């Protein structure tokens, strides 16, 4: 895919918005980056998910984590366990995702966002 100036501008806006939402609410990859790449740049669901995972590397996470650390809001024991199991889960989840039709994966992703949104709105 050739990148035009329009593509670069869209990617910059996606990055700024995802970074802001991630830093302020702890989300960004799945909620901002993936739908934006699918709807605005025409990536397949697998391409969008793979790109989002590539973005969520250590340097990106450190920027936000520093402020949470300074304020005493990181539980390192919990984070360590989640990191280890997240790596395993990501590996097996990606094996499934790359073997599903893009439309099926997109629908599964949409249902997940909808269910999480409903739960968040309605509370416990």
Q: What average pLDDT does this structure show over 70-88?
A: 90
Structure tokens at 16: 């700024």
Q: How many domains does the chain have?
A: 1
CA triple 16-25-11, angle to 5 deg: 20
- Judge contact between 18 and 8, C-beta under 8 A: no
Domain coverage including residue 110: 5-122
pLDDT of residue 1: 67
Confidence of residue 19 (pLDDT cuts 50, 70, 90): confident
d(CA 55, CA 50): 9
pLDDT above 80 for 18: yes
CA dihedral 87, 89, 94, 96 (to 10 degrees): 160
Burial class (CB in 10 A: 0-12, 13-18, 19+), 37: buried
pLDDT for 83 beyond 90: no
């Amino acid at each position: 895919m050739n990148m035009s100036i329009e593509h670069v501008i869209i990617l910059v806006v996606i990055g700024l918005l995802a970074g802001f939402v991630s830093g302020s609410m702890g989300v960004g990859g799945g909620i901002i980056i993936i739908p934006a790449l699918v709807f605005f740049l025409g990536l397949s669901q697998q391409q969008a998910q793979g790109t989002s995972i590539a973005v969520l590397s250590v340097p990106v996470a450190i920027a936000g984590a520093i402020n949470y650390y300074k304020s005493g809001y990181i539980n390192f024991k919990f984070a360590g366990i989640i990191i280890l199991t997240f790596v395993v889960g990501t590996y097996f989840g990606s094996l499934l995702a790359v073997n599903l039709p893009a439309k099926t994966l997109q629908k599964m992703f949409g249902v997940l966002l909808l269910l999480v949104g409903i739960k968040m709105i309605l509370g416990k």
